[in-house]
Chains A and B, each alone.
Chain A
Amino acid sequence: MKKIFTTIMICAAAMFAFAACGDPEADKLEKVAGEWHYTGVESGVEIDIYLGLYTDSTFDLYQKVGEGPHYLYKGKYNFDGQVLSGTYSDYTPWAHDYNVTKSNGSLTLTSVAAPDYSITFRKEAIPQSVRTHYMPVTKAEGETPAIL
């Protein structure tokens, strides 16, 4: 009986250990994944940006600068637990790699190379009106890339 109990415990521990391991990369992405929103005004121009970071390492960036619809940039990102980097689907790299700070429902991205530059998003779902009303600029992987 004791032997059976020991065997069960070993199996359970093994299963727990297996489950806990998961995918370490996905676990890292989980930390930044979500939908984020930034608004601001620069030089009198209103900026409105939604960023969707998804656990499959893809992102959608809906960007509105001034009038007109949001422009959609798609691509892939990576997060190593500290630094967030990404490439648009037209193979253009992000302007920066960013150190990430999360607090109170906000996500602050600070340029690794230029620490004076940062942008803070707050957690907010991308509205359906934005998801369905945008100008595509870069396409998803598998679609024809724009020649830039």
Chain B
Amino acid sequence: MMERKELETQVINMVATSYKQDAAKLSMETLFKEDLGGASVQMVALVAEIENELDVELMLADASGCASIGDLVNLVEGEL
């Protein structure tokens, strides 16, 4: 089972890639809409990346419903 911290780091790196952000500036508290201003197309790319790398399947609607990166990590953790 992957450690929580390790999962957080992985998800942050994937968020950084999908949203073209500096990973160092992202945290569990970073908000998708308010801080990253991303459209659904970035969230879809992020979910695809998570599915490719972490071998889980997420409901896209659930992922889109995550307010913060922390929420998304919780969602992924629940599926692992």
A and B found bound together: no
